[in-house]
Amino acid sequence: MSGESRLYQASHKFKKLNGQKDSVEFAQIIKIDSQYTATVLRDIWSADGNWDALLTHQFNSAITELSLMHFRAAAEFCQKRFVEAYECQLSSYKAFLRAFSYMDRWGVYPLLAMCKDLYLLSCRADRQLAELGQPATKLEEATRVITQGFSMCMTDREPVLSNSRKWGTYHLANLLFALYLRQKAFNMCNSMIRGIKTSELPALDQFPMSDQVTFRYYRGLLAFQGEDFAAAKEDLGFALEHCHCDAYRNKARILMRLTPIMMIEGIMPQMRLLRKYPAIMALYGGLARATVQGDLRMFDAILLEKECQLASLGTYLAVEHVRRIAVRQLLYKIYLIDGKNSRLSFERVRVGFWAAGLGDVSILEIESMLADMVAAGFIKGYLSHDHGVAVLSKQQPFPPIKSVLAAAK
């Protein structure tokens, strides 16, 4: 059998699966690294000694075009020509979209498989272009065309919901989250969330749990970056609770953001958790210990040491919020040492800060810090500027942190 005949046979298989609406097998063979694809390319090479048949074969339909361009992409991929492989995959994907407009739900899985390959190839192509000193724009282009597939799913008008392409919406949204965040296009993420919220989709809890967990992880991540810690805690908490039990790396990734949220609420990570996730211990263990002890000197030293790592994770600002709890703990220790005096002088606090190794803090700074603690509810009482004292409530002058944060909501 010649290479051209083998390619015609493979193209016919694509047409047959399309006619049968065989979602699973179609999605499998359309992957660029599938066993079927490798077999077809090997057969063509064995027959002709080259892959020229891929260049001469003509296509007369969208399915024929997508199959031919798929094999061209795979051939280029095998030769590590990732820019050319991306261009061929892009053509195959565009041909698939033309056919997808006539498909119902069965076409979602092949679409997802093609989108993932397009994403991975765009990343490799951009790296190759960057090495050649050329503009790396393939990821941005891939994002635009994958968005077209996402829109075709979200806005599908199939009257029978069980046959609708809408069921692919969240899976593609999760892929787009990864693409947008890689490009730091946070506004596009938020626009997509708003679009989903106003669309006529089934409720999120009707979609596969994997889609729910990933979507809520990304939504929680965006809420975290916007410092909406209550919303972030809800979504990241759901993602952690329902994440697959064996997905250790995914759980660690969730905990990287969820841990500082809990610390802001005065809930420090337990030793059992820190032992299970050494990366969490390395990043937050010392900060948690310093917070509980009210050791501002240690807290500031660790924060400075971990600044770059926290900034790269986007958790630095959240950890800065935790510092207020460390300040509260230190003030509480000074209050206890002072014999629980309801009139805590600014000078006494200043001496306490000096004893804690914080240097010579001015009275003005002390007064400002105490004012912040009173305003935030961490201390019950008021300040007397003229007398230089904080007049503390006789009942729970330092309320439990949880009750302070609950009252602030």
Q: List, for residues 338-391, the tens digit of each pLDDT value.
A: 888 889 899 999 999 898 888 888 899 899 989 999 998 889 999 988 888 999
Q: Compute CA 213 distance to the chain's CA centroid, rounded to the nearest angstrom.
A: 11
Q: Say what the pTM is.
A: 0.88
The pLDDT score that the predictor gives to residue 171 is 96
- Closest Cα to residue 74, out of 20, 13, 7? 7
Q: What backbone torsions phi and psi does residue 382 show, to the nearest 5 degrees? A: -150, 165
Strands of 343-345's sheet, edge to edge?
A: 343-345, 389-392, 381-384
CB atoms within 10 A of CB 83: 20
CA distance 135 to 132: 9
DSSP reduced 3-state for 133? coil
The pLDDT score that the predictor gives to residue 7 is 80
Q: CA angle, corner 177, sides to 175 and 181, nearest 5?
A: 125
Q: What radius of gyration, in Å, describes the C-alpha atoms of the chain? A: 29
For 271, half-sphere exposure in the C-beta direction (CA atoms, 13 angstrom radius) is 1
The pLDDT score that the predictor gives to residue 1 is 65
Q: 378: which residues sit within 8 A by CB, 6+ positions away? A: 324, 325, 327, 328, 331, 398, 399, 401, 404
Q: Compute CA 234 distance to the chain's CA centroid, rounded to the nearest angstrom.
A: 15
What are the DSSP calls for 264-326, one per residue? HTT-PPPHHHHHH-HHHIIIIIHHHHHHHHT-HHHHHHHHHHTHHHHHHHT-HHHHHHHHHHH
Residues lower than pLDDT 50 in the chain: none
Tens of pLDDT, residues 390-404: 999 888 899 888 777
- Asked whether 171 and 112 are in contact (CB, 8 A), the reply is yes
The pLDDT score that the predictor gives to residue 57 is 62
DSSP reduced 3-state for 377? coil
Q: 372: which residues sit within 8 A by CB, 6+ positions away? A: 324
- Based on the number of CB atoms within 10 Å of its own CB, is 76 exposed (0-12), middle (13-18) or buried (19 or more)? buried
For 346, half-sphere exposure in the C-beta direction (CA atoms, 13 angstrom radius) is 20
Six token digits for residue 142: 């891939």
